[in-house]
Amino acid sequence: MSANRKGDRRERELVNELDAAGFAVMRAPASGSATERDLPDVLAGDGDRFFAIEAKSSAGDPIYLSGEEVESLIYFARNFGANARIAVRFDREDWYFFHPGDCHVTDGGNYRVKKETALADGEDLAGLVGHSTQARLDDA
């Protein structure tokens, strides 16, 4: 399966999960390289909270976003009145969410999320949508 098809499938999966959580949600029809506009992959809102989400998935390798991708996300979110989030999903794991400011920035200005970082520090879907608070073992 091509990387684009897998990415599209993962984005649709995220849209379905946000929809099931009670959010009005849509995939931006021309996000990424298909347009010159600064569009996130997913827009979601429930009347109280609004998110502009850049979604990335990986089999297990670290996920990288270019500085330009993240700047575009922040620009759009600010102008739209939404909260910018980076959503990452590793194979056989759930989605985890990060504010761009909470991601590691490489020396080259790119953003990186490792699998172990996502599992340890990422916000799960229930936490993002306000349905629960996530407890960590090191918090106990």
Which residues are identified as catalytic? Answer: 31
Quote the CA–CA distance of 39 and 69 in Å, as a whole number.
9
How does strand 42-45 pair with strand 83-90?
A: unpaired
Is 68 labeled as ligand-binding? no
Q: How far is CA 116 from CA 9, 23, 112, 122, in A?
A: 23, 28, 12, 9
- Provide the sign of the torsion angle of the four alpha carbons 11, 16, 19, 24, taken in this order: positive
Is 41 labeled as ligand-binding? yes
Phi, psi values for residue 24, rounded to 5°: -80, 130
Site of tokens 């827009």: 43
Is 36 labeled as ligand-binding? no
Q: How far is CA 95 from CA 106, 123, 131, in A?
A: 22, 8, 15
Residues annotated within a binding site for Mg(2+): 11, 41, 54
